[in-house]
A and B are shown apart, each in its own frame.
Chain A
Amino acid sequence: MAASRPNRLFRNLTAKIAAIPMILTALVVFVGGTLWTVVYSFTGSKMLPKLKFVGLDQYERLWDTRRWMVSIENLLIYGICMLVFSFVIGFILAALMDQKIRFESTFRTIILYPYALSFIVTGLVWQWVLNPEFGIQHILRSLGWESFTFDPLYNADIAIYGVLIAGLWQGTGLIMVLMLAGLRGIDQEIWKASRVDGIPAWKTYVFIVIPMMRPVFITTLVLVAAAIVKVYDLIVAQTGGGPGIATEMPAKYVYDYMFGGQNLGQGFAASTMMLLAVIIVVIPWAYMEFGSKNRG
């Protein structure tokens, strides 16, 4: 093709030159770094990377490690709950906000504010709120409800939900704002038409508005999913992975073994598994999303 239209490569030359730094960054930093990590995950690298191949040893050890299994389980619980709850709560808040209420911008600001805080601050705040000695439990007990017990962060079975509460508190505001923007993008004529036809509001939302908001949902999904997979700082600040290993997450495993354990190979193997998980989710979705567009 290049031979038949020789100057095609040079069309829009300035734009192409301008894009070179970005292309290089993408190739070297992202693709190159990823490949490098995958290659070294098959080596016995300890503190410093060494090309001493050990086959699948790192992966065998990884899947034999209980802490890794607990991390995966936690990520699934946290991820699914986070997706479902943040979408439901975020959408409901946005729908309420869309009822032409008074002081809308005030409410919007209040709900979005937690997002301005880092996960570190969020984690610390909720560590205190959920601390039985001076948090919710203490307040309710001092109000006279002596038998009240609420200490999720000290109970290994439910500690992950304590983290989830903090994650939702921080992240839902952003979802609400995105959803609200989506709702505002819906043509008012559609509401008028549904009102004329006598369709109840909830039906209009579920069957007409939500399907029309598909692009907003997809953007939100990508943002939330990325935040879920890489969750690390919230855990470090709020629970440190405890009690025991009850709230460990894959990203923390990667960090702990790469640097704390001075075992790069093990950390790389774990991060390659995380990448694989993301790919398994993203590829079918990308295929559906972009594949159909090409056909249509």
Chain B
Amino acid sequence: MTTLRTLLTATSALCWLSTAHATELEVTHWWTSGGEAAAVAELAKAFDSKTEHSWKDGAIAGSGNTARPVMISRITGGDPMAATQFNHGRQAEELVEAGLMRDLTEIAAAEGWKDIVNPPSLLDACTLDGKIYCAPINIHSWQWLWLSDAAYKTAGVPVPTNWSEFVAAAPALTEAGIVPMAMGQQGWQQKGAFDVLMIALLPNDIYLKVYDEKDAEVAAGPDVAKIFEAVDQARSMAANSNVQDWNQATNMLITGKAGGQIMGDWAQGEFAVAGKVAGTDYHCLPGLGEKNVLTTGGDAFYFPVLDDPDQTAAQGELAALMLSPEVQVAFNLKKGSLPVRGDVDLSSANDCMQKGLAVLKSAEPLPGGDQLITQDTTRQIEDLMVEFFADTSLTAAAAQERFAEIIGDAD
């Protein structure tokens, strides 16, 4: 007992000596699937060991749609956490405008974020009126088609190399009792797949006209009509996919019950946790194998304004740590995402991540949907897609008409 007491006194004395007091930072996020949780554990480990502060995990189960309302109501309700995840872009726009988020410009300048963050558009998404309000931590791209080698082997057809081959191979899979396309029945996944098809199957300027300029005529036009036909095909291919969460859908691929899935690169974390190897157990096609393109959305951490100076100091340390090379590598390898800085060594990254890096180097990345449209519009499109995927009596043409209306009303 006495030893323990001496130890405690000694440690607290040590704390008093250091300039900033050790404190506990609560960090909220919605990373709860196997691969995601492993990545967060890397962040927590780095924060606990490299600084004297400690990480208090505030994981919120469910997708971002469940977690974001909780985070926002805590921040607006006067009970802010020390740091919170959001996706790059417009999700936290109004919180920043209302002055609820901490200005990170000084830390960014000290750490030289402007020079290291690549592509620079990531930092732009964190910038409002020349000030930086968030720390980007990874690049996630949605435009991936994941394919299960086991499923195609069972069906006796070669693994597709692009979307049209994937569609053509669907009947063979159905015959073998395999679901051609795995799709979780949640709006964000269905809307995500829809956006991916639009980006991969059409020229970039059409995507930008629809989502950036909100041109309702283009959204109602013949090009986008092709996308609705493709989504219609996806609907029939995914008809027997009775799962909800995206990782359950990915698990259908891992177990060979489904052929393919359109999902962001975070799906890779699930394959890694299951011990699958890219190139032999599963294949990945960036841009659906149709086009050399990726969007650069991703996750960023925002730091709400706090009163406690100790916590504020610790926030700064956490922000700097998140972009440090070691953390970037450790975190992103587990998460299956790409690092936000171009100067780190990723030779240990697997096949799929290398492909992603190559695409990012060779082609100008597109802004992701979260950066272009508001959550409100996103939600409306999600509602439309949920209905479309569940109700086969809703035709592609009727759905497109409603899509064009939503785009016309968007801001």
Contacts and interface: CB of A to CB of B under 8 A. Distances in A.
B76 interface: yes
Contact of B383 (A67, A246, A255): A67
Nearest to A50: B94
Nearest to A131: B242
B376 A245 contact: no
Given A46-B94, A259-B68, A260-B65, A244 B387 contact: yes
B379 A260 contact: yes
B400 interface: no
Contacts, number: 73
Contacts of A263: 375-376, 379
A256 B379 contact: yes
B94 A262 contact: yes
Nearest to A68: B383
Given A47-B94, A260-B65, A245 B374 contact: no
A46 B374 contact: yes
Contact of B390 (A64, A65, A243, A261): A243
B72 A259 contact: yes
Nearest to A236: B66
A221 interface: no
B257 to A, nearest CB: 13
Interface residues of A, number: 26
Interface string B365-406: 000000000111011100100111111000000000010010
A186 B383 CA distance: 52
A259 B94 CA distance: 13
Contacts of B7: none
Given A47-B94, A47-B95, A257 B386 contact: no
Query: What does DSSP make chain B's interface, helix, strand, loop or mixed?
Result: helix
Contacts of B402: 66
Contacts of A47: 72, 76, 93-95, 375
Interface string B192-234: 0000000000000000000000000000000000000000000
Contacts of B68: 259-260
B379 A242 contact: no
Most buried by A among B73, B374, B375, B402: B375
A266 B376 contact: yes
B98 interface: yes
A156 interface: yes
A16 interface: no
B141 interface: no
Contacts of B91: 262
Contacts of A66: 383, 387, 402
Given A48-B76, A243-B185, A262-B72, A67 B376 contact: no
A151 B248 CA distance: 21
Contacts of A266: 376
A154 interface: yes
A61 B409 contact: yes
B386 A244 contact: yes
A182 interface: no
Interface in A241-285: 241-246, 255-257, 259-263, 266
Interface of A: 46-48, 61, 64-67, 154, 156, 240-246, 255-257, 259-263, 266
15 contacts: A46-B374, A47-B76, A47-B93, A48-B76, A48-B94, A65-B383, A66-B387, A243-B185, A244-B391, A245-B387, A246-B391, A259-B69, A259-B73, A261-B378, A262-B91
Given A243-B185, A244-B391, A255-B69, 4 more contacts: A47-B375, A48-B76, A257-B379, A262-B72
Pick the 8 closest A-B CB pairs, nearest first.
A244-B390, A259-B69, A261-B379, A47-B94, A263-B376, A262-B375, A243-B390, A261-B376
